[in-house]
Structure 1
């Protein structure tokens, strides 16, 4: 299927096509590029222009460039523009403009990617669905997602993230969603904002990109909920709250063997669904997703039924049996809110000794040591039998724990991974969690190697 012709792409970007071409997709990586893709030569750690020859050798349909790279023929299929990133944004804007379906944008301090995947799976059978790949939620990921969007898309799910103030609103305005959802607001990237209220206002900026009339879907049970509501009101949005007292709320959730059966009330309709997770935070996000999809015109009952096909993404809380232990791999990211949720999931699983292996939580600002120490008082920590820690910040938690719960402490996750044979025993239920940069995923890798297992996403391939 043709995604863009050379003429359409040139008009959208204001660029010059060296020859006629058609493209079927858009790629920024020659390792995964497919025949017919437009290769976007972004300037990042490496200059994408250095890979144009390779992209064309792999049958790219064309390349988006600022100049003709060395080794590339002048009549090669190129779209020449003044600035590659600006051109990608323009192509994304044109992709959004020609699409007549509904756009749902999702942000939040925790759970953006898993919630985006929930929405994608829940819409199964309700038309042509387009969603962001992986965690493509930044200044190039959002326009890339929009540029890849087929014109006949019925529902698009766009993930929007941030690290610093001022990043969300431009991406929201580029996406122009009909519905915007905030999963939660937590102490993530706190050092860039100073206080949780600043994070809430930045998340609430997503509502400024809403089409009119647009719908804001937001969590009801936060200390900063009123800030989010004020942001939605300022944007003239219809507000749907999700939570214990929201228009979308769980009525009952029962977990058995890591699977949760849920009954919920969503926009006046009672629905039942199954989630392949023991995490109550996943339950709440699923209820919010159903509210967002209902606001976008989807069939809520059908969406609830389809949620049974969702699994947590790798590294984000999936529960798996691993060579005699039960592993909760939540090593992709961490902050106090998501760690509390991870510990609660660990506490709900029964059958063996509960062990937490925790890496540093990063970007928490001046109070980071106190935040690590305070996790010793988390309600679910009382159900954890042993806690191993890695990193200078996690030392504060190690020291604050009762002696009977203290496991190993190491200055790095790599050091802890070397002791993997001493960390767990047969029958244990094990949570591994930390910020991505803490590299606590090396402990997960070591567990898999020693127990001869592979991640669920890599099996049967």
Structure 2
């Protein structure tokens, strides 16, 4: 029988909490009653929309080992003996996360970057789980509550811990990397994401470079050699406790180098050199950006003392998650259409990558490439130009039809030939029926936009109307 995640004594030592008589130990940690498992600690944190204290009765009824509540709200639950009372719930979760990191002997990897964090994390989870007990962030839990929650969930027997760390503003990464204390740090790339909150891309690079401040002495910094901000990021790493900087990319100067990348409709092949040694491998999902980020996983594995060869072999099993390139076959009329779900979020770099993947699909006869695009947010005064800049990618990748949602997409619509514009609406909800109506057998349709645009509504509408099954192959070939 495995040891509990947290005992009463450990929680008291970490948080100084007042603990009810009905609590003895916890097997997990949760902030959401919808996904809570019996035995979990329920942290009643206050979010932007909901106050977790409103769901304490539901959490306890569902089998939570205890609910962590604030002193201010504790009197509302006087009848329960399964309360852990603290001055501030989020701070208590942070303290428990720090305690989890302190007791752990795991080798820790932290990943940041403007794009590719979650995909890189999932590739690393897949690879390292074959080497030992691996714990990693769920979904994109990379912010001020996601990182401490992931730490608090880390089992004591973990051998490899993988943490995604994100930010919207300067200074947000510093407290998170101080908690995680990684042995290896990966920065995927620097792009104009959240540029609204920064004076320039140099500012974004500096904010991402904060992650090196938490690196353990002698740790390894892994940086994209192809980035124009490589030297700036390297300077941040050299000013930290890092003992080594390792580079990856297509540059001849990269330590982990892709000599050739072949992108097929449903997979990619990489011919690489790992510190001069040749290694060829296949990735079970398409995309040049995914292939490049796989090099960072090889670099991290090497830094952890893991042979890169079996790591590379594991990539054949890599599949894109929901909202991040998941492929689904739709039954349309007497045939099939391919749905590529990129709806989770969007920025200029990721939209260009998604259009490139759509362009690589080998269509059946009479099939069309259809892009359904929503506004890209948090781009500030650069937003109009960055939306206009997508026109080149639309043309270069042979996109036949474009559906657009949101006022910023008007900038793209104005530059495209009228024959390519299927519809432009204010919201994704207004677009759903039009997209569904135009589909015909042989089509490939890709949906992408910022999270606030709710492009997943269009994906859901297509799946409900046409049925859905996971795509093992593209439409042809």
Q: Distance in 1 between matches of 2:61 and 2:471?
A: 33
Deviations 1:83-124 (A, max 9, x none): 111111110001001111100011111121111111100113
Equivalent pairs, count = 456
- Where do residues 12-161 of structure 1 align in structure 2 (5 Å cutoff)? 12-19=14-21, 21-44=24-47, 45-67=49-71, 68-73=74-79, 76-161=81-166
* Cα-to-partner distance string for 1:6-61 (whole Å, 9 max, x where unaligned): 01111011222233511111111122211211111112233222322222222221
Contact in 1 for aligned 2:181/2:215 (Cα 8 Å): yes
Alignment CA distance shift 1:55-1:319 (3 Å): closer
Query: Mind listing any 5+ residue stretches in structure 2 that lack a counterpart?
Result: 473-477
Q: Does structure 2 retain, via aligned residues, the 8 Å contact 1:347–1:380?
A: no
Q: Does 1:442 align with 2:457?
A: yes
Deviation readout 1:280-327 (Å, 9 max, x if unpaired): 101011111111121122221111112222211111112332221122
In structure 2, how many angstroms separate the alpha carbons of the residues matched to 1:424 and 1:247?
Answer: 46
Counterpart of 1:239? Answer: 245
Q: 1:168 matched to which residue of 2?
A: 173
The 10-residue stretch of structure 1 (419-428 or 152-161) with the greater mean CA deviation from structure 2: 419-428
Q: Which residue of 2 aligns with 1:331?
A: 343
Give the secondary-structure state (helix, strand or coil) at the position aligned to 2:278. Answer: strand
Say whether the 8 Å CA contact 1:420–1:446 is kept in structure 2.
no
Say yes or no: does 1:258 pair with 2:260.
Answer: no
| 1:228 Cα deviation from its structure 2 partner | 1.3
Counterpart-to-counterpart distance in 2, 1:13 and 1:268: 49
Secondary structure of the 1:400 match is: coil
Match of 2:230 in 1: 225
SS in structure 1 at match of 2:379: coil
1:22–1:61 contact (8 Å) kept in structure 2 = yes
Q: Which of residues 325, 340, 360 is equivalent to 1:348? A: 360
Alpha-carbon displacement from aligned partner over 1:132-171 (angstroms, at most 9, x marks no partner): 1111111011001111111121000001111122111110
Structure 1: runs of 5 or more not aligned: none
| C-alpha RMSD of the superposition | 1.9
SS state at 2:76 partner = coil
Contact 2:218 2:241 in 1 (8 A): yes
Map of 1:395 onto structure 2: 410
Once the two structures are superposed, residues 260-298 of structure 1 have per-residue CA deviations (whole angstroms, 9 ceiling, x without a partner) of: 222322344433332222211010111111111211222
Distance in 2, matches of 1:433 and 1:59, equals 38
Query: 2:263, 2:288 within 8 Å by CA — same for their partners in 1?
Result: no
In 2 relative to 1, CA 188–33 (structure 1 residues): closer, same or farther, beyond 3 Å? same
| Equivalent position of 1:208 in the other structure | 213
Q: CA deviation at 1:380?
A: 5.8
Q: 3-state SS of the aligned residue for 1:358?
A: strand
SS of alignment partner, residue 391 of structure 2: helix
Q: What aligned pairs does 1:374-393 form with structure 2 within 5 A after superposition? A: 374-378=389-393, 381-393=396-408
Q: Which secondary structure state, in structure 1, belongs to the residue aligned with residue 261 of structure 2?
A: strand
CA contact 1:15–1:79 (8 Å) conserved in 2: yes
Note closer, same or farther for the CA distance 1:77–1:71 as it changes in structure 2 (3 Å cut): closer
What whole-Å deviation, never above 9, does each CA across 1:55-78 have from its counterpart, x for those lacking one? 22222212222233424436x133
More moved, 250-259 vs 176-185: 250-259
